[in-house]
Structures are given as structure tokens and as C-alpha cells.
Amino acid sequence: MNFDLYGFGPALAAGTLMTIKLALSALCLGLVLGLLGALAKTSPYKPLQWLGGTYSTIVRGIPELLWVLLIYFGTVNLMRTLADFLHMESLELSPFAAGTIALGICFGAYATEVFRGAILAIPKGHREAGQALGMSKPRIFWRLILPQMWRIALPGLGNLFMILMKDTALVSVIGLEEIMRRSQIAVTSSKQAFTFYMVAALIYLSLTVIAMTGMYLLEKRASRGFVRSSQ
């Protein structure tokens, strides 16, 4: 076992940073998509309900890897048309952008269900109280529903984020230089496959532990002032 990792330590550290960046940007996109999906699914309008339902069903039924490949390779023609339309030389999705979109879409589909559960868990009286005070619908959502929703949705979102972090490894398939891709490069030159993939595994493990700790603290903060039920 060579402790300076054959000089690939800094490359792996850069890969870790890239993984974290990718996970966080996919998280942002996914949260927005999830909120929109949940709003569509709980709205009184049938077409919107259908839209939200189809989004979460279809995305959850297809492997994440297929989404990553589809977004990266499938949008080439689309981007070309768009470039023509905008009179630009060429336009293409970088692996980072494609990965963010693909993982964001997948995260959003699962988050739709988590948020929907959270919205439904808020007592009807709160909404009615807002109406009685003369608040508009968006205002009720923004000031009454959303702040309370987080607390309920947080454990579910935490699990999804853990899954998202592991799914970032898939983006190495389209060549983004994150942990897995950097380890693959290191393996080709050092021929020490087990060592480097084990190091990659340990990095993912420590990221998971950090995320778990963060989640625990967030949940503790979100549930301050609430009595924890004993079950």
C-alpha cells in the first residue's frame, strides 16, 4: 500500500470537490422540480395532477444511468437546433450540465412524492386560517405551508440526498472528472485497481457520514419546539 497514492492524491481531492459540486447543484434543481411536481400533484386542476403524476411515475421507472446517457447523448440534435435558432456557432451540454440535469430530474421525481406527503400532512385548518385572514393563495403557500413542510419532508429528503450522492458516480460514464473518473485515470496508469477503487469507496463513505451528520443537525434544528413522538 502506497500512502501518497502514486501522486494521484490531489487529483482525487479535486474529483471529490467536483462530486460535491455536482451533488449540490443537482440537489438545487431537484428541490425546485420536486416542489413544482408536488404542487402540480396536489393542485385541484386535473391536467396538472396528470402532469405531476406522469413525471414522477415515468422518471422513477427508468434507471438513472439511462437518464444520464439520454440527456447527454440525446440532446445533441436539440442543442444544434437551438444553436441555429440563436445564430450561435455551436452549443452543447457539458458533462457537468448534463449530469446536473439528469440527476436533478431523478431527484425531483422522488422529491415530488416526499413533498406531496408533507403538503398533505399539514392540517387543513392552517390553510383555512390563512384564508380567514385574507391571505392570497401564493402567500398562504409561502408563509404557512412551506415553512411547516420542511420539517416533515426533511428525513425523506435526507435519504434522497444520500442516494443522489451515490448516483453522482454515474456521471463518470459521460466523462465528468469526479471521484470515479479520476480513480479510473489513476488505475490506467498505476495498474492498482483495487487500491484506487477502495480509496474511492472510502471517500464516498466519508461523504455519506458527513451528509448523515449534517442531516441529523438539520433535523434537530427543524424540529426544535416540537415534542418528539415516542414511536
Q: Residues touching other proteins: how many (CB under 8 A)? A: 37
When binding is defined by CB under 8 A, the residue of 47, 61, 123, 225 that contacts other proteins is 61
When binding is defined by CB under 8 A, the residue of 11, 48, 69, 83 that contacts other proteins is 69
Residues 155-184 touching other proteins, rule: CB under 8 A, are 166-170, 172-173, 180, 183-184
148 near other proteins (CB under 8 A) = no
Cα-based distances in Å from 220 to 90, 154, 194: 48, 10, 39
Nearer to other proteins, 88 or 209 (CB): 209
Q: Which of 23, 61, 55, 59 is nearest to 39 (CA)?
A: 55
**Cell numbers at 93, concatenated:** 451540454
Residue type, 140: I
Distance in Å, CB of 128 to other proteins, minimum? 30
79 near other proteins (CB under 8 A) = no
22 near other proteins (CB under 8 A) = no
Give start and end residues of each alpha helix (H) in 91-145.
Answer: 95-121, 124-132, 137-140
20 near other proteins (CB under 8 A) = no
Is the C-alpha dihedral spanning 173, 174, 178, 182 positive or negative?
positive
Nearer to other proteins, 62 or 217 (CB): 62
Our separate counts of H helices and E strands in the chain read 10, 0
Q: Beta strands of 41-200 (E only): which ranges?
A: none
Q: Residues interacting with other proteins, by CB under 8 A?
A: 58, 61-66, 69-70, 73-74, 76-77, 166-170, 172-173, 180, 183-184, 187, 191-195, 197-198, 200-201, 204-205, 208-209
